[in-house]
Amino acid sequence: MNKNKYTLNYQPIEWRDHKVRFLDQTLLPHEETYIETADYMEIATAIKELKVRGAPLIGVAGAYGMALGARQIYARSRAEMLRKLHDIASILKITRPTARNLFWAIERMEKVAKAGKSIEGIIIDLENEAVTIHREEAEATYRLSEYGAGLLPNSATILTHCNTGPLAATGLGTALGVIIYAHRQGKSIKVYADETRPLLQGARLTTWELQKAGIPVTLITDSMAGHFLHQGNIDYVIVGADRIALNGDTANKIGTYSLAVLAKENNVPFYVAAPSSTFDANIKSGEEIIVEIRNAHEVTEIGGVSIVPYGITAVSPAFDVTPAKYITAFITEKGIIKPPFGDLTA
């Protein structure tokens, strides 16, 4: 595949003249609205509110947030600059707790800042580093997509969960990147997309991206995936990841664990596609992963309309942790790998 041939007519995030321009993903698929900002707080809010989402993308957004923040700081000394930058890093980090990429990117930005010699130098270095992170993450998706596509035969039906395309990861995406790459290689790829309640990223975003890529997709509810796996309609399950422990335990969008168990029960290979930045060398197993609990209204309401009687409560864990034993292999920009892992980002 000539990667230059794959030109998206949408960009989840761009750095333009010291500003960040991002697509508000909460308005998709019915509205394609871009927001431009020079304020790191607007990036933090966008991450928190899922206007910008997808583990690799929020890493990139976090990096850009640091670059914007550096310009917003009033500092009389390099030391003051670094202190204030650290506060900005903290604000960007508390937006969402689970995706490793956000922390990885911000830590990388802080390291660059500390190596900077002057206030002006730090500002320029951070801007360059954020753009580099973005470019590297995009390139990683092309490489991992190529590796992943190599696993697929000439014809395959793939089930995927949540959204893992260019919207989620820049470049070609992760799990959806594999699918798009294989399709553009000329393979006959069909996709079942889980709607992915509560926030319907599968229904709203994955179908939108697959439609733009010209790949046949059938939407199903999350509850139907087991049925179609059992019926033999699905050859592969490929999903993304938000954080991967050294032993291969993987946090990803709620519902992933169920798919992994159902895939194994029906002898269907289950792959996780993610760049190195999703792998966390600081944690040994999934037990150490913090799962974000979001507002119960995400479950009790759909599109702002209540689906329950007054007074009913709900819980909304955003992720679950899939034990490594259910995962066939990991598709990364460094190849197809299996745990135990070392530090992939070293």
Residues that bind a second copy (CB under 8 A): 29-30, 194-198, 200, 203-204, 207-208, 211, 217-227, 230, 254-255, 257-258, 261-262, 265, 299-300, 302-303, 305-309, 311-317, 320
Nearer to a second copy, 255 or 339 (CB): 255
> How far, in Å, CA of 116 to CA of 183, rounded?
44
In this structure, are residues 210 and 201 in contact, taking their beta carbons and an 8 Å threshold?
A: no
Structural contact between residues 39 and 11, judged by C-beta atoms closer than 8 angstroms: no
From the CB of 310, what's the least distance to a second copy, in Å? 8
3-state secondary structure of 317: strand
In the residue annotation, 194 being an active-site residue is answered as no
Q: Using N-to-C axis directions, what is the helix angle for 119-149 and 55-72, rounded to 10°?
A: 170
Catalytic residue among 125, 194, 242, 280: 242
129 in Cβ contact with 282 (< 8 Å): no
Q: Which is nearer to a second copy, 261 or 337 (CB)?
A: 261
**Nearer residue to a second copy within complex by CB, 141 or 196:** 196
Instruction: Report the nearest approach of a second copy to the CB of residue 291 (Å).
Output: 9
237 three-class SS: strand
Q: Rounded to the nearest whole angstrom, what is the least distance from the CB of residue 338 to a second copy in the complex?
A: 21
Q: Residue 156 and residue 159: Cα distance in Å, rounded?
A: 10
Residue placing its CB nearer to a second copy in the complex, 147 or 257: 257
The nearest distance, CB 216 to a second copy, in angstroms, is 9
- Between CA 32 and CA 16 the distance in angstroms is 18
According to DSSP, the β-strands at 19-23 and 13-16 are antiparallel
Question: Which long-range CB contacts under 8 A does 29-37 form with residues at least 24 apart?
Answer: 29/204, 29/205, 29/207, 29/208, 37/68
CA distance 321 to 261: 12
Residue 48 φ/ψ region, left for φ over 0, alpha for ψ in the -120 to 50 degree band, beta for the rest: alpha
Question: Which residue's CB is nearer to a second copy, number 145 or number 206?
Answer: 206
Measured from the CB of residue 260, what is the shortest distance to a second copy in angstroms?
Answer: 9
Q: Which residues are catalytic?
A: 242
